[in-house]
Amino acid sequence: MSTYPLIRHRRLRYNPLVRDMVRETVLTKNDLIYPLFVVPGTKVKNPVKSMPGVFQLSIDELVKECKEVRDLGIPAVILFGIPDHKDEVGSEAYDPEGIIQRAIRAVKKEVKDLLIITDVCMCEYTSHGHCGLLLGDEILNDETIELLAREALTHVQAGADIIAPSDMMDGRVAAIRKGLDDNGFQKIPIMSYAAKYASGFYGPFRDAAESTPAFGDRKSHQMDIGNINEALREVAEDIEEGADIVMVKPAGPYLDVIRKVKDTFGMPTAAYQVSGEYAMIKAAGANGWIDEERVMIEAAYAIKRAGADMFLTYFAKDIAKWINKTTK
Ligand code: PBG
């Protein structure tokens, strides 16, 4: 292999136009999925304290926000519902008149050309904040997946385009797939949170979604932070069960997992840049300790460079604006 002085890496770096030509990773608006939180009421826009720029929105405000997101060229939102009423069995999760089901219908009626993805889980709807039905302190797997399948079906009946189960129960993808297929929704894709870690980075989300568990943690179903072989087994299983897109979550601290999943399965792969990743960049930016925009873009590049085809991010609008600003 020839070396310096024949080889000069800087030849491709002197000129910004050349740098643009040889850049291996490109961010596009098609990469972006914007998470939104829906609450009961009208004209509600509650700021989430630990996530500057993120709000809990009532349905009327959500519709306005979705129009703005669509006009920016972002193809998809993912919706999380915070119900009026929580109970032991999370009934509003699968109520056809629940907060999320009403929100989907309202957005679908008013906003064209925007994909609605819905998060399917029980934790926002149960009084105890756990991701499923409890027997004592234990989350029941097989009983819970039946409810998740019902929840997903009500979302699709209301007009959801893609279903994203985030609960990490075993067998939920198969149960949801069957529930959808039996009711004529064969064409609706499932984006499974396939490798979802029991992460401290979800802290701010639990403020936004009011879903902090009343006791204990999520370690009995979410993955151990030290594992990657297990992530591959989780992903393989979800694909077998019918997942169309597989997700790794969180994103930034698990770039190795994204790369491995993409290389192993070659599936459409999503990553979730979660609330804590967002909050850290926002906080350091607000303090003037980092250049927020620059770090936001660098973190997004890292996720794509690791192999993600798309990512969920609270920065979606800011990234879309940056793309609009910097694209000639
Ligand atoms: C569960 C769910 C969570 C997130 C997305 N879906 C929280 C959890 O598992 O505790 C976290 C997302 C984030 O931190 O931004 N419904």
Q: Among this protein's residues, is 196 annotated catalytic?
A: yes
* Residue 94: DSSP 8-state: G
Distance CA(114)–CA(112), nearest Å, equals 6
Given the residues 86, 196, 260, 262, select the one marked as catalytic.
196
Contact 202 CB / ligand 1 (< 6 Å): yes
Minimal-distance CA residue to ligand 1 atom 5: 166
Contact 34 CB / ligand 1 (< 6 Å): no
Q: What is the pLDDT of residue 11?
A: 97
> How close is the Cα of 1 to the center of ligand 1, in Å?
49
Do 56 and 113 form a contact (C-beta atoms < 8 A)?
A: no
Q: How far apart are the first and last CA of the chain?
A: 37
CB atoms within 10 A of CB 322: 17
Residue-by-residue DSSP string for 269-316: EEEEE-HHHHHHHHHHHHTTSS-HHHHHHHHHHHHHHTT-SEEEETTH
> How close is the Cα of 6 to the center of ligand 1, in Å?
52
> How close is the Cα of 267 to the center of ligand 1, in Å?
22
Q: 65-78 burial string, b = 16+ CB within 10 Å, else e?
A: bbeebbebebbbbb
The three-class DSSP label of residue 108 is: helix
Contact 275 CB / ligand 1 (< 6 Å): yes
**Residue-wise pLDDT tens digits, 269-301:** 999 999 999 999 999 999 999 999 999 999 999
- 24-326 CATH: 3.20.20.70
Q: What is the pLDDT of residue 226?
A: 98
The domain locations on the chain are: 24-326
Of 237, 135, 134, 244, give the one whose Cα is nearest residue 189. Answer: 244
Q: What is the pLDDT of residue 261?
A: 98
Contact 154 CB / ligand 1 (< 6 Å): no
- pLDDT means per 10 residues, the chain with 328 residues, are 93 97 97 98 97 98 98 98 94 97 98 98 94 93 97 98 97 98 98 98 93 92 97 98 98 98 98 98 98 98 98 98 93
Given the residues 109, 187, 249, 282, select the one marked as catalytic.
249
Q: Which of 37, 205, 218, 311 to mutate to test the pocket of ligand 1 (most atoms within 8 A of CB)?
A: 205
CB atoms within 10 A of CB 113: 8
Of 86, 114, 111, give the one whose Cα is nearest residue 98. Answer: 86
Joined together, the tokens standing for residue 213 give: 């568990």
Q: Among this protein's residues, is 249 annotated catalytic?
A: yes
- Please state the φ and ψ torsions of residue 271, each to the nearest 5 degrees: -135, 150
Contact 121 CB / ligand 1 (< 6 Å): yes
Of 20, 25, 55, give the one whose Cα is nearest residue 208. Answer: 55
Of 305, 311, 310, 306, give the one whose Cα is nearest residue 272. Answer: 311
Task: Give the global pTM.
Answer: 0.97
